[in-house]
Structure 1
Amino acid sequence: MTHVLSRRPARSLATALAAALVAALAAAPASAVPDDAAPSAAPERLYVDPFSTTLEAAASLEGDARADAQLLGSFPSATWFTGGTPDEVRAEVAGVVGRAAADDALPTLVAYNVPFRDCAQYSAGGATSTTEYVAWVDAFAAGIGDEHAIVVLEPDGLGIIPWYTTVNGEQEWCQPAEADPATAAAERFAQLQHAVDALGALPNVRVYLDGTHSGWLGVGDISDRLLRAGVERADGFFLNASNYVETERLLRYGTWISDCLHLSVNSWWEPQWCASQYHPADPDDVSTWTLTDAAYEQAFADTGVVRHPAEQAHFVVDTSRNGRGPWTAPAGAYPDPEVWCNPPDRGLGARPTLETGTALVDAFLWIKVPGESDGRCFRGTGGPLDPARGIEDPPAGAWFPEQAAELLDLAVPGVQRPTCHIDYTVHGTWPGGYVAQVWLRSTGTAPLDGWSLRWALADGEAVADAWGAVVTEEGAAVTAQHLAWNATVRPGGAVTFGFVGTRGAGAPTLPQLVTLDGRPCTVGG
């Protein structure tokens, strides 16, 4: 792990029980990599998966909705793993990290299968027991092996804990009847601790636990939960997964959590003493947050602990939908506004990047896949329509064309639309092969002086011959470059080339992501 806190705090009975459960169920993580595996240099850019769920959705859409999905799919987004058998998740994870490694890029993987996830609400599901979860996580880790990856471990996993009593002695609302009130919370910490250890044993993986967001838990509460879940052995925590809080607030909140952890681990300080967005600050008035900043300065002075960004817990921030911040529902309009559930008129936030300019922030990520629904939102009414939109929202995880369009149109900063269009036609197929033709059309106002197109082939496909372009392959990636006589494409003009492809048993893949000199084009109808 990259960041290590220097000592563990005293453990409560629940935490001790969690540790005992981990030891009893899995004395050691399943072997995922050779014993002599060592860290290697990480890729410097985030991975764009040409077979993502976003681009899968694009293939079934038409017109502007198709173009929106293709454009969203051209940015790095996380890949979610939400179930399946151990063998299935091992293969699926290995497929993603293998493609990313071939592209020399860093994938973001979301493990989302903890028992009683989302407290059986919109995203209900997950493993049925700790034993089942341990086997699933070990297989997830084995799928990564010695490849590079960022792992976002269980969104809401620490924000929503079954039968949990907070550090302040408050019983939380999540009380599923199927869970044992005496052990359910300890089991959650056991599950997460095992996952941290299994993934943390991998040489090239960065692991982040759920840190909720500044509109949810106070700093002391989430810091205590993070310590119980084993954050000392992880790289840190993630913020704002699937939510809308402004990045400015999240940077302050995340820094306070990192400071609270650092103080609690390295001195007599206790997490429940940590200042937060709720005290002494006013959560609704950012100008008062300097009061909390000052409280941390005093805490460091009182304890003698010194800030050490290289050793403190780091964090990543989900900026997929926070460009315009949270939605405020009209006063009194709905019995339950459900402001987190497909709020209207939101925009994309900062683009995913490993370059954040902030020492404690490892990345801005799109953890939530923008354009996928949060669920069917009734806002306290009987449904089936979402009263804020006047339509029926898709189920959780399904593509939501109206929301995708809003996120692009209202993005902060704005999104540049493509200035090229690709038509890709398979003229004929035969056992083991096919012939395809590609048209590149300029839709911008400036000519294309030289061009290079890139797309990905599915497993089992390759290029056997080509004309009208120089076509080369590197792994699954195909690059088509102009010839001398067709290097320039005037605005509104087009060029074409073709190739013969080989294939396995399936139909030829029609790519939904084609880039021109690294920038996306629209593809097809």
Structure 2
Amino acid sequence: MRRASAWLAALSLGLAALCLTPATPAAADETVDRGASLYVPDANPDAYRQVRDLLRAGQFRDAAGIVAMVNTPQAVWYGDQSPAEVERLARGVVRDAAREGAVPVFALYNVPGRDCSNYSGGGASNTAEYKAWIDAVARGVRGHGAMVILEPDSLALLPADCGQDDAQGTLTTARYAEVDYAVDQLEPLRGVRVYLDTGHPGWHSVNSIVPRLLRGGVARATGFYTNTSNYHTDDATSWYGKLISSCLAYVDGGGAAADCPNQWWPRTDAQSWIDANVHVPPSRMKHFVTDSSRNGRGTWTPPPGKYTDPQDWCNPPDRGLGARPTLRTGDPLQDARLWIKIPGESDGLCLRGTAGPEDPERGMVDPKAGDWFREQALELVRLADPPILGGR
């Protein structure tokens, strides 16, 4: 697969020389103090096919935009592989990244009851199977640095949240144990940093997500992540991260999460509270990363009253790529801005409360979750903010 990346890189250079001003260098050129860069994985094979079709159609700028998008550092997702397969694949990625002096980002997505069995449903069958899978990931990455985005929606969307648990909360208790186990197996590995799920700033309040993070083992993890696969702005997600980190420090000192400011407080009031109640240096606080892959235009506002369930998270129209990934955020609490969600891959079959089968906002049947979505990929490239390509 690395041959495909080489082909795309060569194509990108050729297109730029023919008709384009080169893009601003991506964050792969930005380093942290250890000299690391972020890893660029091979793209979805359908991205390569789209580039070829665009070239045949004479749409050179669009082709170059897709090339630039998939040549930007982004996460490697695992979730449906067997333990033997995920161990082999993860080992191959960390070795490849090490040769390039890069840090890979893994999004692990295999927890039982994943996505409440909705569009991205699946995952391990039970806790024992999940633990064996995590053990295999640990064997694969051992000895190499990596950032681990642990189980998107695992804490923000518990089995109890979607009516899939019993009266005793058996599945929710198991969910916490599964996340906790993954933290204990992965975080102690040298060079591995594990981040836990918070959803996004339009979902849980700081006061409700902090107890979930604590029960999921954040005390033993590097920290947490926010906005995965969503569209909230960098400003909103970074502020949400600061509030969560501050609340975790406050609770660690004996305070109650219910007393913390949340994302809907006036910022001046929230900052005053932090100044008065949190006296822990950033080096001792929990750090966070954010997802900027598709947030260049912010969130989508559905037409008022048009849909019974607008699904504003699901392939919203007219979104753009966000700021490029970087390990240099300028914020001592924010370890990185990442592209966690793979831009160009569909969120699923979005019906927005209608009978379907078409997405009423797009007039077409959306690809299933994880499949390449050509129309959306072009939107993301054309509406990227900042632009993915230089020039006009």
Alignment TM class, shorter chain as reference:
0.7 to 0.9
Q: Is the Cα–Cα contact under 8 Å of residues 68 and 404 in structure 1 kept in the other structure? A: no
Q: 3-state SS of the aligned residue for 2:335? A: strand
What's the offset of the Cα at 1:221? 1.0
What's the offset of the Cα at 1:145? 1.0
Q: Is the Cα–Cα contact under 8 Å of residues 183 and 194 in structure 2 kept in the other structure? A: yes
Task: Specify every segment of 5 or more residues in structure 1 that has no aligned partner in the other structure, as ranges.
Answer: 1-40, 164-171, 282-287, 419-443, 445-525
Q: Which residue of 1 aligns with 2:49?
A: 60
Q: Quick one: which amino acid aligns to residue 122 of structure 2?
A: G
Normalising by structure 1, what TM-score?
0.65
What's the offset of the Cα at 1:417? 5.5
Question: For 1:24-81, what per-residue CA distance to the aligned partner results, in whole angstroms no more than 9, with x for missing partners?
Answer: xxxxxxxxxxxxxxxxx855210112x232xx22233211465443221110010100
Q: Does 1:107 align with 2:98?
A: no
Q: Which residue of 2 aligns with 1:247?
A: 234
Structure possessing the higher relative contact order (Cα contacts under 8 Å, 6 or more residues apart):
2
Q: Quick one: which amino acid aligns to residue 130 of structure 2?
A: Y
Q: Does 1:74 align with 2:47?
A: no
Residues 349 and 132 from structure 1, CA distance in 2 versus in 1: closer, same or farther, beyond 3 angstroms?
same
Q: Which residue of 2 aligns with 1:269?
A: 255
**Greater share of helix:** 2
**Greater share of strand:** 1
Q: Quick one: which amino acid aligns to residue 271 of structure 2?
A: D
Q: Which residue of 1 aligns with 2:274?
A: 296
Q: Is the Cα–Cα contact under 8 Å of residues 349 and 412 in structure 1 kept in the other structure? A: yes
Question: For 1:223-261, what per-residue CA distance to the aligned partner results, in whole angstroms no more than 9, with x for missing partners?
Answer: 111111111111100010000001111111110100000
Q: Does 1:175 align with 2:163?
A: yes
**Equivalent residue runs for 1:21-40 within 5 Å:** none
- 2:184 pairs, out of 197, 221, 224, with 197
Q: Does 1:160 align with 2:152?
A: no
CA distance in 2, matches of 1:152, 1:108: 7
Q: Is the Cα–Cα contact under 8 Å of residues 386 and 392 in structure 1 kept in the other structure? A: yes
CA distance in 2, matches of 1:263, 1:256: 10
CA distance in 1, matches of 2:233, 2:272: 22
- 1:383 pairs, out of 356, 376, 387, with 356
Q: Quick one: which amino acid aligns to residue 44 of structure 1?
A: A
Structure 1 runs (4+) greater than 4 angstroms displaced: 64-68
Q: 3-state SS of the aligned residue for 2:159? A: coil
Q: Does 1:151 align with 2:148?
A: yes
CA distance in 1, matches of 2:171, 2:388: 44
Q: Quick one: which amino acid aligns to residue 296 of structure 1?
A: I
CA distance in 2, matches of 1:90, 1:350: 31
Q: Which has the larger radius of gyration?
A: 1
Q: Quick one: which amino acid aligns to residue 256 of structure 2?
A: E
Q: Which residue of 2 aligns with 1:411?
A: 384
CA distance in 1, matches of 2:256, 2:47: 50
What RMSD, in angstroms, separates the aligned Cα atoms of the two structures? 1.7
Q: 3-state SS of the aligned residue for 1:320? A: coil
- 1:256 pairs, out of 243, 254, 266, with 243
What's the offset of the Cα at 1:176? 1.9
Q: Which residue of 2 aligns with 1:187?
A: 174
CA distance in 2, matches of 1:249, 1:385: 32
Q: Which residue of 1 aligns with 2:125?
A: 128
Task: Specify every segment of 5 or more residues in structure 2 that has no aligned partner in the other structure, as ranges.
Answer: 1-32
CA distance in 1, matches of 2:106, 2:390: 27
- 1:398 pairs, out of 371, 386, 390, with 371
What's the offset of the Cα at 1:410? 1.1
Q: 3-state SS of the aligned residue for 1:60? A: helix
Q: How many pairs align?
A: 352
User: How much identity, in percent, do the aligned residues show?
Assistant: 46
